[in-house]
Amino acid sequence: MAEAGEGRVRGLKVAVIGGSIAGCTMAIELERAGCDVTLFERAGEELKDRGAGIAVPPSVIETLIRRDLVDADTPCLSAEKELRIWRAADELRCGRVAWAQPSAYRFLNWGHLYRNLRKRLSDDVYWFRHRVSAVRETPGGTVGVQLSGGQVRDFELVVCADGHRSVGRRTLFPEIQPEYAGYVLWRGALAERALEECAALEGVAARPGFPGGSALFYLVPGMGGSVEPGARMVNWSLYTQVPDPNEFLTDKAGRIHDGSLSTAAMPPGREASLKRLAREVLPDFYAGIVDQSPNTFVHAVLDCEVPAYRRGRICLAGDAGALARPHAGSGALKGMRNAIALAEALRAGPTIEDALAHWSDWQTAACNDLVRLGRQLGRALVTEIPDWSRMDEAGMEKWFRSVVTVPSETFDPGGPGDPGGFPNPRA
């Protein structure tokens, strides 16, 4: 049996369920802490990469490099402002900038981040095509992990990083179901070379608002990692209100999809209606990006809080725990924070039980706050968005600070405070 304390954990037999960014980070961090880790991923060797981007604070990049989770030369792009834009008759191409909000970001390509993490795990640790159907604590104090074929393997600790429909969350808290926020998120990416020029996105994140929603556009490194003009990707997302998510996520064969639907599977005319919406509400430059983007997809925006991040020796991470709306930061990034914090707690705790209890308390408070931040941003940017064209910069800033009160810097893993990288979430 492993023991915690003296800065190390030796020999703890751990299962990580889910092999995307959150699960990979968890496996790396726990293996480096001295654990004997097995990661179960239900998919094949390569997870899908649509060229999507991830936006993070600069200190997060520094933390990932310092902890050797990504290479020091991992390509990223920078932005120091988020432009709040509204379509205007006298500014049809790029819209009227209502507020150039100072917001330091670093933009990564999702695929580059995943591949950085994956190459740090051996195939002895990362098990492809192993779907977990159930997790159960045993009377002997271990956790049984049941695979879809019926085989059960016993572990001393199980971390579920298996997404918003997590088998772990359903096991620990069957009464908790993610709730629909009233709107969907449409995502896409376009190679920069498809555009005549891209000056409007240099060094900024552009957020056009419109009645009933908003969008976000920014540059990320190209699929090959290039950050040179002309070889990058434009990543974008658009939020729009949809009363019935099941109807919206019903494919052309009449099947309801669980959370996400590609435009290739949509009924005839559905993607055309979305692109028509973009042309009606976005400035022409941004609507053109949406119109040209291939392989787009839509998912319902959901959220939920959780009462704890562990029970016994079963833990949650990423979107398997508290599920926050995308406005508040990606689930992948949240999962990376959970992983760093758990590894540090296990190194520092006098016992494994103390370490898990401390870690769970911190993650529960911080990540539930992240859910509340996402709800505030959802009201500000989608369901109760005001007409930004009627506000000057001072009015915009005053309005934003009145409706978004949860401090976003609370969730910076490079910050001071908790040994897992979280400052006090109640400070």
Between CA 332 and CA 138 the distance in angstroms is: 30
The strand pair at 213-220 and 233-241 is best described as antiparallel
In a domain, 350, yes or no: yes
**105 near 401, Cβ under 8 Å?**
no
* CATH number reported for the structural domain that contains residue 333 in this entry: 3.50.50.60
Instruction: Record the pTM.
Output: 0.92
According to the model, what pLDDT value does residue 407 have?
A: 77
Q: Are 252 and 358 within one domain?
A: no
Q: Are 170 and 196 within one domain?
A: no
In a domain, 66, yes or no: no
**17 near 172, Cβ under 8 Å?**
no
Q: Are 359 and 329 within one domain?
A: yes
Average pLDDT over residues 49-58: 80
Alpha helices in 142-295 (DSSP H): 167-172, 245-248, 270-281, 284-292
**380 near 374, Cβ under 8 Å?**
no
In a domain, 427, yes or no: no
| Burial class for 418, CB neighbours closer than 10 Å (0-12, 13-18, 19+) | buried
Q: Which of 302, 324, 346 is the last residue of a domain?
A: 302
Q: Which of 302, 319, 346 is the last residue of a domain?
A: 302
Chain mean pLDDT for the chain: 91
Q: Are 134 and 265 within one domain?
A: no
Q: Are 135 and 214 within one domain?
A: no
Over residues 2-53, the pLDDT tens digits come to 555 544 688 999 999 999 999 999 999 999 999 999 999 998 766 666 568 8
**368 near 305, Cβ under 8 Å?**
yes
In a domain, 63, yes or no: no
Over residues 127-139, the pLDDT tens digits come to 999 999 999 999 8
In a domain, 161, yes or no: yes
Q: Are 192 and 240 within one domain?
A: yes
Q: Are 31 and 133 within one domain?
A: yes
* Residues whose CB is less than 8 angstroms from the CB of residue 336 and which lie 6 or more positions away in sequence, other chains included: 21, 22, 25, 64, 69, 413
Over residues 66-83, the pLDDT tens digits come to 999 999 999 999 999 999
Q: Are 297 and 220 within one domain?
A: yes
Over residues 373-423, the pLDDT tens digits come to 999 999 999 999 999 999 999 999 999 999 999 876 544 443 333 333 323
In a domain, 388, yes or no: no
Q: Are 294 and 145 within one domain?
A: no
List the domain range (segments joined by +) for residue 357.
4-45+128-177+305-381+405-411
Between CA 254 and CA 261 the distance in angstroms is: 12
How many independent structural domains does the chain possess? 2
Say whether pLDDT at 426 is over 70: no
